[in-house]
Structure 1
Amino acid sequence: MNKIIFFSGKGGVGKTSCASSFAISKINQNKKVLLVSTDPAHSTSDIFEMKINNTITTILDNLDAIEINPEEESKKYINSIRNNLHKIISPAILSEINTQLDAASVSPGTHEASLFDKMLSIINTEIENYDYIIFDTAPTGHTLRLFTLPELLGSWIDSLVKKRKKVVNYKKMSLTDKNKRKNLEHDPIIEILNRRKENLEKARKIMIDQNKLSFIFVLNAEKLPIDETKKAIEILNKYSIPVGTLIVNRILPKNIKDEFFIRKKEHEIKHLKTIYEYFKDFNIIELPLLERDMDFKNINELSNFFKTDKNLV
């Protein structure tokens, strides 16, 4: 069973319920678990009926959790860049640099980049402290942007390094002092960019390693969640990110007498057939629709469906 597990899917299909119940099933097997929420609309605190912060919080014996605040992480991300640049950039252009960084803090992609850094930091620093790190992610589109970042940012960083090397070479050509030219051999900006690239490569290796990471999609037996899951898996396949398990959540009971739910069950059966045909190579787990609102008692009930690992390998 892989140590790093991502739960993803369309908004409202029950990702938090599934991720939380899976976490409970693991601590019932005496495993130590870290449950990480990356969804800005955090529900983990609501399910466990306690405040979970942007730092690791103990929920139960062997179960810790953290709710990542993308806005807070974005500020930390920009400030770390600002601090690094302040050490190596001339004071004459610091004002312009700060203006650009302020603009970048609200630009598209900054939240994703900072969130990705935080996720990678959690994996790298906590992987040895837990048997499982379970990520309860934001709706599909947001998660896909996160997982495609190593490819996109890697190319962008390569371009920046190439341009920076040209600038450094021009500086070398203009200097006659050998010592000054030698100092340019270790350009701090290039070193920062290369470290960033190394971290991205490390993340990339984790993502495509089927022995380290499992990606689980949660969906309902309805057309829109099925269509979204198909598209998402196709995108992840392009980036060689493994997906092996689907959880079909909120299955209606069999013995229904109400006319409305009889027709609803007929549609559900049709969609289940589509799921089992299209995703025939995947492990598929069915979870029932519960008669009560989701709470800690229900989480314990759902955890019984994850007693064995065979469906989640």
Structure 2
Amino acid sequence: MLLELAASRRVLFFGGKGGVGKTTVAAAVALAAADAGRRVLLVSTDPAHNLGHLWERPVGPEPVRVAPGLDALEIDPERSVDRHLSEVEDALRRMMPREMGGEIEKHMALSRDAPGMHEAALLERIAETVETGLGGYDLLVFDTAPSGHTARLMALPELISAWTEGMLHRQERSARFGEALRNFGRDEGMGDRIIGRDPDAPVPPDDRVARIRGILHRRRHRFAHLRETMTDAERTAFVIVLAAERLPVLETIEFEAQLRRSGVHVGGLVVNKRAPADAGDFLAHRRAQEARYLDMLAEALPALPVQEIPLQPDEVVGGEALRGFARVLGVS
């Protein structure tokens, strides 16, 4: 199942409950695809990044080569917020009158801790990574945050796109109204007296309108592209990684429903750290217990393919260990 997905898709998301091995599975699939000749970018969106620990080398917010044909990066939420707010503040300062500088600073300080700011900034960075990454790589592999956070993130492109459309609609209505007022009293300057003119403004009023419209159009295009990519089952698949335990199984069933409501195609389920059947009574008992939970999973999600990965005797750290783990996955 993973072999087919890695070979046939352009974007793969790996998600699930925390601690089930998402990062290891995602990294092994990415490495196997790179070894097969694809140009691959491995991206971590989890604030608790583990790619650097897994590869035993620094991995940061810019792509670094971790293996032949495979680059990796970790999206830093705080840096994403800083970058997002810096761009917004720069745009505001260029478009607003100089005497508004103090108000802009207050607004930006309050915005940093506004609800949803981190998610919006992270989503913008993901959208940018998808937009640019598809031009330079054959496959993008995302190692995502735990399922609750990721489910909300997957629903955001549609919400932000709708918000942007509303802003564009209101801005266009405002622009038409402003133009009507200016035309109404153009000879006597009546329109300027009604609307107000700032002779010291760094950007003329008409240019401000054009810049606002340009920013909104760019955002609409970027999030529309992300939404289109995420919901295209031919290009993108989401793989849910889980353990054969009660809570991960129940969370997986709910997570799949949330992704489906967001239009995201779930390509399959990976049951990680499956207890072996031939390693003594203790693990045999545990395997039988796991089987009951997997029966529950199969009853709830009968159409999804399931791949089981046995519990490994050693910790998976470093490139060679990942290649060995990829052989266990059957993707190399």
Q: CA deviation at 1:194?
A: 2.6
Q: Describe how 1:152-301 pairs up with structure 2 within 5 A.
A: 152-175=159-182, 176-177=185-186, 183=206, 187-259=210-282, 261-296=283-318, 297-301=320-324
Contact 1:168 1:184 in 2 (8 A): no
Shift of 1:173: 4.2
Instruction: Point out the more displaced range, 121-130 or 187-196.
Output: 187-196
Q: 1:185 to 1:29 in 2, by over 3 A?
A: closer
| Contact 2:309–2:329 (Cα < 8 Å) also in 1 | no
Asked if the contact 2:10/2:235 (under 8 Å) is kept, the reply is: yes
Cα drift, residue 134 of structure 1:
0.5
Counterpart of 2:49? Answer: 42
**Structure 2: which amino acid aligns with 1:158?**
E
1:21 positional shift: 1.0
Judge conservation of contact 1:25–1:307 (CA < 8 Å) in 2: no
Partner of 2:92: 85
Aligned-pair CA distance for 1:93: 1.9
Aligned length: 308
**Partner deviation per Cα, 1:73-98 (whole Å, 9 max, x = no partner):** 11000111111111111222232122
**TM-score normalised by L of structure 2:** 0.86
- Structure 1 pair 29/307, CA: closer, same or farther in 2 (3 Å)? farther
Correspondence 1:74-113 to 2 at 5 A: 74-113=81-120
Residue from 7, 11, 14 that aligns with 2:14:
7
Deviates more, 1:293-302 or 1:178-187: 178-187
1:306 shift after superposition: 4.2
The offset of 1:257, in angstroms, is 2.0
1:99-147 deviations in whole A, cap 9, x for unaligned? Answer: 1122111222111111111112122212132221100011111111221
**Structure 2 residue matching 1:128: 3-state secondary structure:** helix
Q: Which runs of 5+ in 1 are unaligned?
A: none
Please report how far the alpha carbon of residue 159 of structure 1 lies from its aligned counterpart in structure 2 after TM superposition. Answer: 3.2
1:230-249 residue CA offsets vs partner (Å, 9 max, x unmatched) = 11111111121111211000
Single out whichever of 224-233 and 170-179 deviates more from structure 2.
Answer: 170-179
Q: Paired residue for 1:115?
A: 122
Q: Give the Cα–Cα distance (whole angstroms) in 1 for the partners of residues 316 and 127 of structure 2.
A: 30
Partner of residue 61 from structure 1, selected from 65, 68, 89: 68
SS of the residue aligned with 2:145? coil
Aligned counterparts of 2:316 and 2:12: Cα–Cα separation in 1: 22
| Stretch moving more, 221-230 or 92-101 | 92-101
CA contact (8 A) 2:14 2:141 kept: yes
The one-letter code of the counterpart of 1:117 is E
In 1, Cα distance between equivalents of 2:144 and 2:206: 45
Q: Is the 8 A contact 2:249 2:294 kept in 1?
A: no
Residues 307 and 130 of structure 1: is their aligned pair in 2 closer, same or farther, counting only changes over 3 Å? farther
Label 1:159 to 1:30 Cα distance change in 2 as closer, same or farther (>3 A): closer
1:186-243, Cα deviation, whole Å (9 max, x unpaired): 5432332232122211111111111211111001111111111111111111121111
Q: Matched residues in 2 for 1:200 and 1:123: separation? A: 10
The answer on whether the counterparts of 2:13 and 2:144 sit within 8 Å (CA) in structure 1 is yes
Q: Does 76-85 or 117-126 show the bigger shift?
A: 117-126
Deviates more, 1:162-171 or 1:42-51: 162-171
- Return the alpha-carbon distance in structure 1 between the equivalents of residues 209 and 90 of structure 2: 19
- For the residue of structure 1 that corresponds to 2:237, the secondary structure is strand
Within 5 Å, which residues of 2 pair with 1:143-154? Answer: 143-154=150-161
Specify which of 274, 297, 304 is matched with residue 327 of structure 2. Answer: 304
Of the candidates 104, 125, 143, which is equivalent to residue 132 of structure 2? 125
Are the counterparts in 2 of residues 221 and 272 from structure 1 also a CA contact under 8 Å? yes
What per-residue deviation string (whole Å, max 9, x for no partner) do you get for residues 273-299 of structure 1? 222332221121111111222312432
Q: 2:304 is aligned with what amino acid?
A: F
Aligned to 2:141: 134
Conserved in 2, the CA contact under 8 Å of 1:207 and 1:241? Answer: yes
Aligned-pair identity (%):
29
RMSD: 2.3
Deviation at 1:174? Answer: 3.5
Task: Verify the 8 A CA contact 2:237 2:264 in the aligned structure 1.
Answer: no
Q: Which runs of 5+ in 2 are unaligned?
A: 1-7, 193-204
User: Using the alignment, how far apart are the partners of 2:171 and 2:50 within structure 1?
Assistant: 44
Aligned partners of 1:101, 1:218: CA distance in 2, in Å? Answer: 38
